[in-house]
Chain A
Amino acid sequence: MELGNGLALLGAGLGAGLFALGAGIGIGSIGKGAMDGIARQPESAGKIQGAALVMAGLVEGAALFAFLICILIWTK
């Protein structure tokens, strides 16, 4: 395997790690917000859970942009 190819794969791997980091931080803070909300108002737990899932989906969507680039580099 050539050096250039190896560096490309290294970049893809680093990118994958970084997007997992970003998505983790994002989803973590959503989870924190949802848990806080449920602790304060247990009666509206259902609504908060639904909204939190949707926001997690949005964060995941942003993270998957990065995933796509990583896959593009990997399969090139």
Chain B
Amino acid sequence: MKLARLLIISLLVALAAVAFAREGHKVQHGDAVAQKTVEHADGKHEEGLGTTLVHILEHHLVDSQHMELFGMDIHLPHFEIAGYEFALTKHRVWWLIALMLMGLLVWSAARQKTAVPTGFRNMLESMILFVRNEVVRPNLHDKTDTFMPYFMTLFTGILFSNLLGLLPWGSSATGNVNVTAGLALCTLSLMVGMGVKENGLGGFLHHFAPPGVPGWLMPLMIIIEIVSFLIRPFALTIRLFANMLAGHAVLAVLLGLIVSVVFAPPAILVAVGVFMLEIIVALIQSYIFIMLTATFMGLTMHPSH
């Protein structure tokens, strides 16, 4: 059983390495052509490795309308409705896949009618219990059950999206700053909305003017409080986005070190280690996201001072 698991993991890693290597080969080839043309044009050319890495990173991290799957280059459709452009992009497709997987998992677990959970439902129930008892309840108290669906959606969605980026040809939608900014905006609106709902508009605004501060310091304190309030969702955005980006960038750079066969074994060994770390990071970052969301909501809903 353990052996089978190890085999599957190593197969995935090898596939990822192959995908990266193919990518690098292609880009290098393209670069060589470009360099040749540049050489012909003005007689000088740029340094190879750095620009190649930048190309690979751009190709893997930047959203595009091309999606590569099993070696095929798929051009995603885009259409116009009433003057608005709707385009399917790589990150949108992978985000939809993550959400569909999430729905499928929950649906298959919820179909079980037996009293004793088996299989996936075991895992899901332990996850839900963890999120409810360790993350949401200490912060939201009696509002826990109202917000559990939101937190579980957030958690599993981000988790699946993070993990899908580790598959060969996969891409994490959470590695796109727009996605994480959207998720953080949901957090911000919940912070403001629940703060106003629980404490009233006056109570919510009173939170920005802490008592016991001398009058001449008050304007400064209000500005500081507002900035510290708004910087929380911003930090959420950057944290998740940068973590996903950094993992892929480090993997690409490590595999980009392979300039000849001699460098391949150590580079791949380290890359496998980083890959394992990325699996942990995917879990931890989705946990941190919901934990901070719950903490911030709790802070605006129950200001203790």
Residue positions of A touching B, CB distance < 8 A: 1, 53-54, 56-58, 60-61, 64-65, 67-68, 71, 74-75
| Contact A75–B288 (Cβ < 8 Å) | no
| Contact B242–A67 (Cβ < 8 Å) | yes
How many whole Å from A15's CB to the nearest CB in chain B? 14
From A61, A64, A67, A75, name the one whose CB has the most chain B CB atoms within 10 angstroms.
A61
How many whole Å from B292's CB to the nearest CB in chain A? 9
| Contact B58–A75 (Cβ < 8 Å) | yes
Q: How far, in angstroms, from A23 to B284 measured CA to CA in the complex?
A: 17
Output the nearest chain A residue to B54 by Cβ-Cβ distance. Answer: A75
How many whole Å from B231's CB to the nearest CB in chain A? 12
How many whole Å from B203's CB to the nearest CB in chain A? 29
| Contact B288–A67 (Cβ < 8 Å) | no
Q: How far, in angstroms, from A56 to B284 measured CA to CA in the complex?
A: 9
Given A65-B238, A68-B238, A74-B54, residue A57 in contact with residue B284 (CB < 8 A): yes
Given A64-B239, A67-B242, A75-B54, residue A57 in contact with residue B249 (CB < 8 A): no
Q: How far, in angstroms, from A8 to B239 measured CA to CA in the complex?
A: 24
Q: Mark B261-287, 1 if CB is under 8 A from A, else 0.
A: 000000000000000000011001101
Residues of B within 8 A of A54 (CB): 284, 287-288, 291
How many whole Å from B254's CB to the nearest CB in chain A? 15
Residues of B within 8 A of A75 (CB): 54, 57-58
How many whole Å from B151's CB to the nearest CB in chain A? 16
| Contact B281–A67 (Cβ < 8 Å) | no
Does residue B245 face the partner (Cβ distance < 8 Å to A)?
A: yes
Provide 14 A-B residue pairs closer than 8 Å at the C-beta atoms, listed in order of the A residue. A53-B284, A54-B291, A57-B284, A57-B287, A60-B243, A60-B281, A61-B238, A61-B243, A64-B238, A64-B239, A71-B57, A71-B249, A75-B57, A75-B58
Residues of B within 8 A of A71 (CB): 57, 245, 249
Residues of B within 8 A of A67 (CB): 242, 246
Output the nearest chain A residue to B235 by Cβ-Cβ distance. Answer: A61
Output the nearest chain A residue to B238 by Cβ-Cβ distance. Answer: A65
Residues of A within 8 A of B54 (CB): 74-75
Q: Mark B233-245, 1 if CB is under 8 A from A, else 0.
A: 0010011001101
Which 8 residue pairs across A and B have the least CB separation, nearest first? A64-B242, A61-B239, A57-B284, A68-B242, A57-B288, A64-B246, A67-B246, A75-B54
Q: How far, in angstroms, from A64 to B285 measured CA to CA in the complex?
A: 13
* Given A54-B287, A54-B291, A68-B238; 19 other pairs, CB 8 A cutoff: A54-B288, A57-B284, A57-B285, A57-B287, A57-B288, A60-B243, A60-B281, A61-B238, A61-B242, A61-B288, A64-B239, A64-B242, A64-B243, A65-B238, A67-B246, A71-B249, A74-B54, A75-B57, A75-B58
Q: How far, in angstroms, from A60 to B244 measured CA to CA in the complex?
A: 12
Given A54-B284, A58-B288, A61-B288, residue A68 in contact with residue B57 (CB < 8 A): no
Residues of A within 8 A of B58 (CB): 75
Docked complex: B127-163 residues within 8 A CB-CB of A: none
Residues of A within 8 A of B47 (CB): 1
Q: How far, in angstroms, from A65 to B291 measured CA to CA in the complex?
A: 20
Residues of B within 8 A of A57 (CB): 243, 281, 284-285, 287-288
Given A54-B291, A74-B54, residue A65 in contact with residue B284 (CB < 8 A): no
Residues of B within 8 A of A60 (CB): 243, 281
Q: How far, in angstroms, from A74 to B54 measured CA to CA in the complex?
A: 9
How many whole Å from B16's CB to the nearest CB in chain A? 21
How many whole Å from B162's CB to the nearest CB in chain A? 12
